[in-house]
Structure formats: structure tokens, C-alpha cells
Amino acid sequence: KQEVTQIPAALSVPEGENLVLNCSFTDSAIYNLQWFRQDPGKGLTSLLLIQSSQREQTSGRLNASLDKSSGRSTLYIAASQPGDSATYLCAVRRNDMRFGAGTRLTVKP
Amino acid sequence: EAGVTQSPTHLIKTRGQQVTLRCSPISGHTSVYWYQQALGLGLQFLLWYDEGEERNRGNFPPRFSGRQFPNYSSELNVNALELEDSALYLCASSRRVGQDNEKLFFGSGTQLSVL
């Protein structure tokens, strides 16, 4: 059974800092990995998707990497802004899609 | 292009009642996923439908059930509601696994309160 773990559970940083969120998964037989953002009480917004054959994806200030063999992914956020404050979730897909518990990020002005 | 739509947005029920939640996927998507997110907790996988069939279900009791219609929309039914069923229920859709651009897209959810 796939287990997805995200570290840290919560993170608070001053505006402008670069930061890294971590995601690990137990079964490396995945099709893809996707990073999401969730604002309180809302649905999830897709940030980046990495296919199993890819090593990384970039979108603006976000960069996600994937090391499938070691079961790890990182989400790098450059020059953080208060608007980045949200919960960030990673999810891995084999047949269904399993989520980590998320990292709650607070960026202070 | 319309996104994933869920109805209703909010629902208040009492213990023992039954509820039906609805989801319309993005046009062209054949897979629909249901998740439960209780307050302060992560997303718990409920059900996955593809091409009208249930492909997998999470660790939930049988009173959680659903179906997918020929137009790929889906319903989630919860019978004999319990207080701990209070949660945000999220629906997501995607193209079939193995196709390009398999991103999962979420609806805004149905907030269910059981009193």
C-alpha cells in the first residue's frame, strides 16, 4: 500500500526566503507525481506534474524534482511571498492517487 | 472550458440520514476520484471511477458508495450518516491513466456537516 509522507508539517518563513518542501513515498512504481496548493476550506489547485520518466518540472518560481528510485520529491519555492501562504500537498499516482498530509506554509511580510 | 463542478456546496444533515453528492468532471475526462478531508486532516481516498466502473476504493465502510454515469459524471452516496462524516468532500477528474496530461483537477468541494 502506498504511503506518502510530507516534511515538515508546518513551516513559517519571512518574505523573500527560498524554501524546500519534501515528499517521500514508499512504492516507487508510480506513473506521476503532482504538487498541489490548497487554501483554507477550498479545493486543490494543481501546481506541477512530473511524469515518472522526468526528473524535474519548473513553473515560474516553483521547481519540483523527482527521484523515483529513492521515493522522493522536493518542491522548491524561490523568493517566497505572503501570497504563497497555503497548504502544499504532494500526490503520487499509480492507479488511484494518494496524498500526503501536506505542509502548511506561512510567509510573513 | 468548465472545471470540475460539485453540488451542493454546503449541506447540513442529522445523524442517520442519507446524502448524495454530485460531481461533473471536465469535458474529456473519464476518471473521477472522491476524497474526504476532515477538519485539520489530510485527503483520504474514497473511490475511483473510470469508464463507468469502480476501479478502487479506500478504507471506508460500505455505507460509502457511488457510481459513475455514461456521461462520466458521478455521485457519492453516504448512508446512515455519523457525526464523524462531517468533512469537505472533494471530487477530482483526469484523463485515463496512461494518457498525456494526466493532471488531476479538483472541484471546490461539498462541505457536509452532520449534527
pLDDT tens figures, B25-35: 999 999 999 99
User: Chain A contact for B88, CB < 8 A?
Assistant: yes
> Which residue among B104, B107, B111 places its CB closest to the CB of A97?
B104
Please state, in angstroms and rounded to a whole number, the distance separating the CA atoms of residues A75 and B103: 17
Note the Cα A56 to chain centre separation in Å.
12
Report the percentage of chain A scoring pLDDT > 90: 80
Residue B40: predicted pLDDT:
75
What does the pLDDT look like over B38-54, one tens digit per residue? 987 789 999 999 999 99
Q: How confident is the model at residue B97 (pLDDT cuts 50, 70, 90)?
A: low
Rounded to the nearest angstrom, the minimum Cα separation between A35 and chain B is 10
Residue B100: predicted pLDDT:
52
* Best of A94, A96, A99 to mutate (most B CBs within 10 Å, chain B): A96
* Helix (H/G/I), strand (E/B), else coil: B69: coil
Q: How confident is the model at residue B87 (pLDDT cuts 50, 70, 90)?
A: very high
What residue of A is the nearest CA neighbor of B9? A42
Q: Given a cut of 90, is residue A74 above it in pLDDT?
A: yes
Q: What is the DSSP string of chain A?
A: ---EEEE-SEEEEETT--EEEEEEES----SEEEEEEE-TTS-EEEEEEEETT-SEEEETTEEEEEETTTTEEEEEE-S--GGG-EEEEEEEESSSEEE---EEEEEE-
User: Chain B contact for A5, CB < 8 A?
Assistant: no
Q: Given a cut of 60, is residue A72 above it in pLDDT?
A: yes
Closest listed residue to residue B91, CA positions, set A3, A97, A66: A97
What does the pLDDT look like over A18-40, one tens digit per residue? 999 999 999 988 889 999 999 98
Closest listed residue to residue A24, CA positions, set A100, A77, A104: A100
Please state, in angstroms and rounded to a whole number, the distance separating the CA atoms of residues A30 and A94: 5
Q: Given a cut of 90, is residue B102 above it in pLDDT?
A: no
Residue A95: predicted pLDDT:
74
Please state, in angstroms and rounded to a whole number, the distance separating the CA atoms of residues B102 and A52: 12
Bridge partner list, A20:
A76
Give contacts of B56 with chain A, Cβ < 8 Å: 95-96
| Contact present, A89 and A36 (Cβ < 8 Å) | yes
C-alpha cell at A83: 501570497
Q: Do B103 and A46 touch (CB under 8 A)?
A: yes
User: Chain B contact for A13, CB < 8 A?
Assistant: no
Closest listed residue to residue B34, CA positions, set B22, B43, B47: B47
Q: Do B102 and A41 touch (CB under 8 A)?
A: no
Please state, in angstroms and rounded to a whole number, the distance separating the CA atoms of residues A90 and A74: 9
Q: Do A43 and B111 touch (CB under 8 A)?
A: no
User: Chain B contact for A102, CB < 8 A?
Assistant: yes
